[in-house]
Amino acid sequence: MAVIPQIDDVPPKPSPLSGRDCLTLAEFTPEELALILDEAVKIKAMQKSRIPYRPLRGRTLAMVFQKPSNRTRVSFEVGMYQLGGHALSLSPQEIQMGKRETPSDTGRVLARYIDAIMVRTFDHGELEELAGAADVPVMNGLSDTHHPCQALADLLTVREEFGTLEGVKIAYAGDGNNVAHSLAIACALTGAELVIAHPEGHGPDPEVVEAAGRLGAAPVLAGDPREAADGARVVYTDVWASMGQEAEAAERKEKFGPFRVDEELMDLAAGDAIFLHCLPAHRGEEVTAGVIDGPRSRVFDQAENRLHAQKALLYLLLS
């Protein structure tokens, strides 16, 4: 009978990322980002082989949600459980960050009870305020301007598909939003080549573009999604109206129509190109059902990779 290794009791090795925050990914060096991805691959392999790995026994994560979630909530909670720890989810009704209590008081109090904080909120400044006051690792589970945990899963998915990130062309078509920003920073740190095609007035924040340039390479900006898709190995899109922009949804539908990812756009990409979307998706808006449910789509692998990437992040920040 095969002996299954029990590595439950191995003490966590000191991590070079111990105690750090993850608010944008720009806080990491290329080597540190590579370490997170390498660790994610190992943790995923252990999970797939059903090898127990519980280095975070007795540790607790607080998850503060000011916006709805499926993937972020479930993957962080399950990930923390699988690593031997515990996660508790705090809804907008409970914390009411910025209304009932300042973000900094929220962070200081939570840090007295728990070992790490994950926050999903609107204003990125609130997240920075909370992180500045909490002396435990704080992770951004999505703000209006950044979604770093999503970008970790995105890169993991691309690396699994092509074996490398260096020089892989990624075409992002649509809104220059939180997902596009984090992808830009992640690509800058890993050598993937990002082209963002966006309608006029909906490009990424110039400060993020500049930051990506300083970190490695700024994304190329385009007005035509066909230019972005040309020869790309990855075609990526996200919703046209993000959480908090519901009032603009109708107006955005008009503007963003030419940026829909359809079969014709995918045909301009490389022969082995894959389609990614952070989800939730709106079939018939930013992507056709034929593409997202077709053979080139990796969106559910990408969603699964949130779990493995975040487990690596939790382990490295908390060990």
Contact positions vs ligand NVA (CB under 6 A) = 142, 177-179, 238-239, 242-243, 278
Give the DSSP letter string of 121-182: -S-HHHHHHHHHH-SS-EEES--SS--HHHHHHHHHHHHHHHS--TT-EEEEES--SHHHHH
**Least Å distance between CB 177 and ligand NVA?**
5
Omega cis (within 30) before 30: no
Calculated CA dihedral for residues 161, 217, 170, 183, nearest 10 degrees: 80
Among 215, 265, 278, 299, binds ligand CP (CB under 6 A): 278
Crossing angle, helix 71-82 and helix 299-318, to 10 degrees?
50
Q: Is 73 a catalytic residue?
A: no
Residue of 147, 181, 198, 252 marked catalytic:
147
- Supply 159's token pair: 């690396």
Residue of 59, 260, 277, 306 marked catalytic:
306
With respect to ligand NVA, which residue has the nearer C-beta, 140 or 319?
Answer: 140
Q: Is 120 a catalytic residue?
A: yes
Q: Per-residue x/- mask for ligand CP, residues 123 to 152, rule CB under 6 A?
A: -------------------x-------x--
**Least Å distance between CB 209 and ligand NVA?**
17
Residue of 120, 146, 159, 308 marked catalytic:
120
Three-state SS at 80: helix
| Residues near ligand CP (CB under 6 A), total | 8
Which residue number is nearest to ligand NVA in terms of Cβ? 242
State how far the alpha carbon of 226 is from the alpha carbons of 40, 171, 199, 258, in Å.
33, 9, 13, 10
State how far the alpha carbon of 200 is from the alpha carbons of 38, 68, 147, 223, in Å.
38, 29, 22, 7
Contact 114, 136 (CB under 8 A): yes
Q: Which of ligand NVA, ligand CP, none has residue 146 at its interface (CB below 5 to 8 Å by kind)?
A: none
Three-state SS at 198: coil
**Least Å distance between CB 63 and ligand NVA?**
15
Cα separation, 102 vs 100, in Å, equals 7
Q: Which of ligand NVA, ligand CP, none has residue 238 at its interface (CB below 5 to 8 Å by kind)?
A: ligand NVA
279 makes contact with ligand CP (CB under 6 A): yes
Residue of 22, 71, 278, 308 marked catalytic:
278
**For ligand CP, which stretch binds (CB under 6 A), given 26-34, 64-72, 111-119, 288-296?**
64-72
Q: Which of ligand CP, ligand NVA, none has residue 239 at its interface (CB below 5 to 8 Å by kind)?
A: ligand NVA
Q: Report helix, strand and coil shares of the chain as percent, to nearest 5.
A: 45, 15, 40
Q: Is 93 a catalytic residue?
A: no
- Supply 300's token pair: 């559910």
**Least Å distance between CB 193 and ligand CP?**
23
**Least Å distance between CB 75 and ligand CP?**
8
Q: Which of ligand CP, ligand NVA, none has residue 34 at its interface (CB below 5 to 8 Å by kind)?
A: none
Q: Write out the residues near ligand CP by the rule CB under 6 A.
A: 69-72, 142, 150, 278-279
